[in-house]
Amino acid sequence: MSQILLQIDGKEVEATKGMTILEAARKAGISIPTLCHHDQLEPFGGCRLCIVELEERGGTRLVASCVYPVANNLIVRTRSEKIDRIRKMIIELLMAHAPDAFELVYLARKYGADRNRFEKEASFCIHCGLCVRYCAEVKKKNAVGFVDRGIRKEISFIPEIAATECWNCKECFPLCPTEALQSAFMLTRALFEPKSASAQLAE
């Protein structure tokens, strides 16, 4: 494995070829916020919360650290006025969906985000895709997916698959940063397994 040397926040960091900037930073004890990243899943690059600045040719460039590969002599900054401003805006946009989500509330405090900056959205889902990707990549079941597109994009369980695979699995539940997945599950179960719906609601 070839060793790579880069600089993150002024610290010399050793990484191996194929690692992302996020992995190299975490290995060196440098924290970068993420929402759509999960160690067991393929890099996705959806939420952009993990953006960092690369210094190059006298300027800077923003990249998503969870998908950007390490390279020799990269100079990376994980915090700056610009990065913090963008993260704050991303958090505010996501809080329009889930203003009380624990992770978002924590991030809002850290980046000074205003949970009421944008008009509230009907759906709690922030489209991180963790549930969909976990079910597809780890469980290989594809029991949960997105329906519709754009602002109408919504999470949904596939009833025929959920009926045989999900009732006793629920491994994706702890991954959801909001309550959207649990709500979608309850709805599916109430619609497709009416007898146990009340029992499920009481759980």
Burial class (CB in 10 A: 0-12, 13-18, 19+), 175: middle
Q: Which helix (H) or strand (E) holds 109?
A: helix 102-111
Pick 113 or 181: Cβ nearer ligand SF4:
181
Does position 126 bind ligand SF4 by CB under 6 A? yes
8 binds, among ligand FES, ligand SF4, none (CB under 5 to 8 A by kind): none
Span near ligand SF4 by CB under 6 A; candidates 8-16, 71-79, 107-115, 175-183: 175-183
Tokens at residue 201, please?
């609601």
Please give the residues from 28 up to 57 whose contact with ligand FES meets the rule CB under 6 A.
34-37, 45-50
Q: Which amino acid, 131?
A: C
Residues near 177 by Cβ (< 8 Å), separated by ≥ 6? 35, 98, 101, 102, 103, 104, 126, 128, 130
Q: How far is the CB of 186 from ligand SF4 (least distance, A)?
A: 12
Q: Which does 50 bind (CB under 5 to 8 A by kind): ligand FES, ligand SF4, none?
A: ligand FES
Q: State the nearest-atom distance from the C-beta of 60 to ligand SF4, in Å.
A: 30
Positive or negative torsion for Cα 101, 104, 110, 112? negative
Per-residue x/- marks for ligand FES, 120-149, CB under 6 A?
------------------------------
Determine phi and psi for 85, rounding to 5 degrees. -65, -40
Q: Please, which of residues 62-81 interact with ligand FES by CB under 6 A?
A: 64, 66
**C-alpha span between 65 and 9 (Å, rounded):** 13
Count CA within 13 A, CB hemisphere, residue 43.
Answer: 15
15 binds ligand FES (CB under 6 A): no
* Residue 66 or 132 with smaller CB distance to ligand FES: 66
Q: Are 84 and 17 in contact (CB under 8 A)?
A: no
Residues forming the site for ligand SF4 (CB under 6 A): 125-131, 155, 175-178, 180-181
Residues forming the site for ligand FES (CB under 6 A): 34-37, 45-50, 64, 66
